């Protein structure tokens, strides 16, 4: 079994790992002494789409679990580009889609499912998981630390249950129905569809706050931030993952908002 993810602040990676570990534990319990009954759960490997061997690993697998963060009820541009630029690797793959979100997506899993189906994948199910909001420079969805910690505990519980059902052959079907499609479309996508259609050039780096540490350059999955003479400069290839905003030690980076309200990464909530 191969797990694949894109994750800005760690939520989608964490949920994928919980899901796959729980599946494997359940499979081991069911197999008992007879290890030959482990089947596809004998080996589990996980790859970020940022890893250059991810496409090869997907090509070699017959079954996949893919996890990603919803952006405006849509798929991050970096993930769309990954799927489309490797369109030959999806045919015949059985895929379970996990979408993580701060509040609501309608058809988060359905969005990616439809794109993968276009290239021949067969969708086995979908899971929606509510996690801490990653938009570090917007107040709207901010919750107190304890509330976020509880949210992650609840998310872990839900994911473990979904994994048990998956191994039992009853995978959840969240976000895949026609009604979910309508909810995603009218809930957000129609109003915000242009936000994720292209990469953005809107990332701002406050030169007065920046100390030139280079962390943002190292973290960015798009190589959208370049260091020059201890000065960080952003380009027009930002996929809005919010990794740099949430990890800059000087809170010098913003994207949608004007100032960093709270830096959010999964490790804070575990
Ligand atoms: C640009 C952007 C747009 C987002 N849009 C939505 C949204 O439409 N609905 C929602 O529930 N959460 C939304 N979120 C929140 C993330 O989906 C959520 O925090 C996710 O778990 C982050 O996962 P990650 O750490 O794997 O990147 C958005 C986050 C970002 C950065
Ligand atoms: S992480 Fe922040 S302080 Fe460090 S170089 Fe980037 S913007 Fe500057
Ligand atoms: S510039 Fe920041 S928010 Fe944009 S893609 Fe790079 S790390 Fe993500």
Give me the residue spans of the domains in the chain. 2-195, 204-259
CA distance 268 to 24: 26
- The token pair at 236 is 């027009």
For the chain, give percent helix, strand, coil, nearest 5: 40, 20, 40
* Contact (CB, 8 A) for 209 and 249: no
| Per-residue pLDDT, 2 | 97
Pick the more confident residue, 154 or 194: 154
CA distance 242 to 224: 12
CA distance 99 to 170: 18
pLDDT digits (tens, 9 = 90+) for 186-229: 777 777 777 778 999 999 999 999 999 999 999 999 999 999 98
Model confidence at 35, pLDDT cuts 50, 70, 90, reads: confident
Closest residue by CA, ligand 1 atom 3: 71
| Per-residue pLDDT, 85 | 98
Q: Positive or negative CA dihedral for 47, 52, 53, 58? A: positive
Closest residue by CA, ligand 2 atom 6: 216
CA distance 264 to 53: 28
Average pLDDT, the chain: 94
* Contact (CB, 8 A) for 10 and 267: yes
When computed from its CA atoms, the radius of gyration of the chain, rounded to whole angstroms, is: 19
Q: Which helix (H) or strand (E) holds 159?
A: helix 145-167
Determine whether domain 2-195 maps to CATH 3.40.50.360.
yes
Does 28 have pLDDT greater than 90? Answer: yes
For the residues 65-78, what does the mean pLDDT come to?
A: 95
| Per-residue pLDDT, 34 | 87
Q: How many Cβ atoms are within 10 Å of 254's Cβ, its own excluded?
A: 20
Output the CA 226–ligand 2 centroid distance in Å.
Answer: 10
* Contact (CB, 8 A) for 2 and 61: yes
CA distance 50 to 72: 22
Output the CA 16–ligand 3 centroid distance in Å.
Answer: 21
In CATH terms, the fold of domain 204-259 is Alpha-Beta Plaits (3.30.70)
Output the CA 133–ligand 1 centroid distance in Å.
Answer: 6
Domain 2-195 shares a fold with domain 204-259? no
- The token pair at 243 is 């990794």
| Per-residue pLDDT, 104 | 83
CA distance 109 to 93: 16
Q: How many Cβ atoms are within 10 Å of 48's Cβ, its own excluded?
A: 15
- Closest atom, ligand 3, to C-alpha of 243: 7
Pocket test for ligand 2, best of 136, 252, 265 (most atoms within 8 A of CB): 252
- Closest atom, ligand 2, to C-alpha of 212: 5
- The token pair at 81 is 């580009």
Does 26 have pLDDT greater than 90? Answer: yes
Q: Could you tell me which residues come within 8 angstroms of residue 250 by beta carbon, excluding any fewer than 6 positions away?
A: 209, 210, 211
Pairing mode, strands 204-205 and 253-254: antiparallel
Does 6 have pLDDT greater than 80? Answer: yes
pLDDT digits (tens, 9 = 90+) for 114-134: 999 999 999 999 999 999 999
What's the pTM?
A: 0.96
| Per-residue pLDDT, 73 | 85
Residue found by looking up tokens 């701002």 in the block: 204
Closest residue by CA, ligand 3 atom 3: 242
pLDDT digits (tens, 9 = 90+) for 156-182: 999 999 999 999 999 999 999 888 888
Closest residue by Cα to residue 6 from 70, 62, 73, 64: 70
Output the CA 255–ligand 2 centroid distance in Å.
Answer: 14
Closest residue by CA, ligand 3 atom 4: 238
- Closest atom, ligand 2, to C-alpha of 232: 5
């Amino acid at each position: 079994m191969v797990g694949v993810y894109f994750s800005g602040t760690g939520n989608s990676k964490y949920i994928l790992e919980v899901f796959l570990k729980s599946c494997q534990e359940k499979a081991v319990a069911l197999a008992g002494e007879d290890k030959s009954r482990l089947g596809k759960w004998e080996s589990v490997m996980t790859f970020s789409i940022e890893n250059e061997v991810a496409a090869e690993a997907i090509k070699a697998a017959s079954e996949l679990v893919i996890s990603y963060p919803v952006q405006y009820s849509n798929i991050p541009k970096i993930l769309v580009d990954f799927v489309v630029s490797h369109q030959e690797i999806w045919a015949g793959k059985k895929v379970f889609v996990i979408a993580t979100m701060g509040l609501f997506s309608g058809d988060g899993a359905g969005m990616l499912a439809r794109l993968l189906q276009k290239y021949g994948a067969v969708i086995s199910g979908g899971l929606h998981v509510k996690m801490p909001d990653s938009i570090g420079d917007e107040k709207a969805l901010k919750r107190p630390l304890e509330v976020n910690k509880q949210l992650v505990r609840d998310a872990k519980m839900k994911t473990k249950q979904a994994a048990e059902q998956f191994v039992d052959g009853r995978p959840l079907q969240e976000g895949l129905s026609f009604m979910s499609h309508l909810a995603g479309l009218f809930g957000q996508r129609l109003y915000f569809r242009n936000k994720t259609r292209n990469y953005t050039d809107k990332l701002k780096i406050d030169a007065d706050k920046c100390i030139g540490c280079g962390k943002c350059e190292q973290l960015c999955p798009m190589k959208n931030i370049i260091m020059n003479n201890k000065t960080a400069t952003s380009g027009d290839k930002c996929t809005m993952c919010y990794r740099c905003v949430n990890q800059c030690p000087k809170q010098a980076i913003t994207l949608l908002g004007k100032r960093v309200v709270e830096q959010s990464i999964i490790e804070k909530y575990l």
